[in-house]
A = this chain, B = another copy of it.
Amino acid sequence: AILEAIVGLPKQPLKGRHVLVTAGPTREPIDPVRAITNHSSGRQGYAIAEVLAEAGARVTLVSGPTALPAPPGCTRIDVETAREMLAACESALPADAAICVAAVADWRVREASATKLKKRPDASPPTLTLEANPDILATLAAHIERPSLVIGFAAETGDVVREATAKRARKGCDWIVANDVSPGTTTFGGARNQVDVIDENGCEVWPELDKHAVARRLVARMVEWFASRKGQRI
Contacts and interface: CB of A to CB of B under 8 A. Distances in A.
Tell me whether chain A's interface is mostly helix, strand or loop, or mixed. Answer: loop
Contacts of A181: 32-33, 116
A34 to B, nearest CB: 6
Contact of A33 (B30, B34, B103, B116): B103
Interface string A169-211: 0100000000001110000100000000000000000000000
A61 interface: no
Report the contact-size class of chain A (Cβ under 8 Å from the partner). 35 or more
Contact of A36 (B30, B127, B188): B30
A52 interface: no
Nearest to A108: B125
Interface in A121-145: 121, 125-132
A125 B132 CA distance: 6
15 contacts: A32-B157, A34-B37, A35-B36, A36-B36, A36-B37, A106-B119, A107-B119, A107-B125, A116-B155, A116-B158, A116-B181, A125-B131, A127-B128, A127-B129, A128-B130
A130 B126 contact: yes
A67 interface: yes
Interface string A72-90: 0000000000000000000
A116 B156 contact: yes
A165 to B, nearest CB: 14
B132 A183 contact: no
A34 B32 contact: no
Interface in A17-73: 30, 32-39, 67
Nearest to A41: B67
A35 B39 contact: yes
A34 B33 CA distance: 17
